[in-house]
Amino acid sequence: MGSIYEDIEQYISGGETVAAATVVATQGSTPREVGAKMVIRHSGETVGTIGGGCGEAEVWQAAMDAFKDGRRRMLTLDLTGDITLDSEMVCGGVMIVFIDLWDAGDLELLQAANTDMKDSGRFAVVTPLTTGDSRPRMLVVPDGRTLGSLGDQDMDALVSPTALEALEQGTSRTVPATESQPALFVEVQVTPPTLVIAGGGHIAVPLARLGSMLGFRVAVLDDRPMFADEERFPDADEVIAAPFGETLASFPLDGQTYVVLMTRGHAHDLECLEQVIDKPVAYLGMIGSRRRVEGVLDMVRGEGHAEELLARVHAPIGLDIGALTPEEIALSVMAEVVRVRRGGTGRSLSERDVAT
């Protein structure tokens, strides 16, 4: 799974001009976050979403108009309308959406961006939030190199540190306008997080499907070829049939990696934990009963690993939703993974203290 900019490059390489609608600011409860992006083609086909039915029809029409006159556009989508029986959908909040155009003149920048995504896992595109037919933009990559220009060398130099800070933090942001420069949007693109599923049993199948649906790059590991089979996991990006410990020892495990251990026994759980426990992964969860989990953790503790490392293990795994079937258990696991990734509470939204 790659960046949406790979789609843009593909379309432009084929001779198309495409429109890209990006959420650059939000207020209140909105369906998508700052940086959410949707690409609109001349044919009307779209890739990505900025919120489903909430304002997308208006954005789509604005993109069609942009194709006609070649001008960038800014839309304010007020989604706070009163709810009536005639309302198709009310999402709440306000989204500011910037519609930009990309064509053959941007191909070099796109190629460089997508190459750097493969090399370093991230890049930033800085765009002046100005309407009109002029379309300056600048690519900034983690080592400080830039490509393109915002139309002014002084502005390029001033914004580069901000773009590098955004890259380090992995978050897109708007830079307010000043007397000497327009508002700028620093859009950070980061390699999708990786969901590593150790164990190819019956729960792993729906878990891989859910992980892919939620935007994760999915890797499934099992030492049994009949379980680590690509036909069994059509939604996985990578299926590896090899010993667990050997595979995890060489697998890139970083702050964008979410590891789920659901092997068939204590020995394999221990083999996996010994390789992962001290790695800087974003999430580490292990399936099993409390008795099995405590037994495995005691063995890891006996190997001399610090207690704070053991405390990182989410076990038993998942959120308590009363899950029984493999599909429900997979949903419980992914709910916990998303909660850790996004910083939620796991509570029912209807139990919030203040309605929004």
Is residue 109 domain-shared with residue 96, that is, in the same domain? yes
d(CA 253, CA 114): 22
Distances (CA, A) of 136 to 66, 100, 110, 290: 16, 10, 13, 57
Q: Assign residue 328 the CATH number of its domain.
A: 3.40.50.720
Residue-range definition of the domain harbouring residue 56: 4-190
pLDDT value of position 302: 67
Final residue of a structural domain among 154, 172, 190: 190
43-71 tens-digit pLDDT: 999 999 888 676 889 999 999 999 999 99
Q: Where are the alpha helices (DSSP H) in 52-177?
A: 56-69, 107-120, 153-169
Range in 143-147, 280-284, 341-345 with the lowest mean pLDDT: 341-345
Asked whether residue 351 is domain-assigned, the answer is: no
Final residue of a structural domain among 159, 190, 221: 190
Is residue 82 domain-shared with residue 36, that is, in the same domain? yes
Q: How much is the pTM?
A: 0.75
- The tally of domains found in the chain comes to 2
Final residue of a structural domain among 190, 214, 249: 190
102-128 tens-digit pLDDT: 999 999 999 999 999 988 889 999 999
Is residue 36 domain-shared with residue 180, that is, in the same domain? yes
Enumerate residues 6+ apart whose C-beta is below 8 A from 230.
236, 239
Is residue 199 domain-shared with residue 251, that is, in the same domain? yes
Which residue is it, tokens 């019956």?
A: 202
Is residue 149 domain-shared with residue 234, that is, in the same domain? no
Is residue 235 domain-shared with residue 164, that is, in the same domain? no
Is residue 26 domain-shared with residue 170, that is, in the same domain? yes
pLDDT value of position 87: 46
Is residue 205 domain-shared with residue 185, that is, in the same domain? no
Is residue 224 domain-shared with residue 109, that is, in the same domain? no
337, 344 Cβ separation under 8 angstroms: no
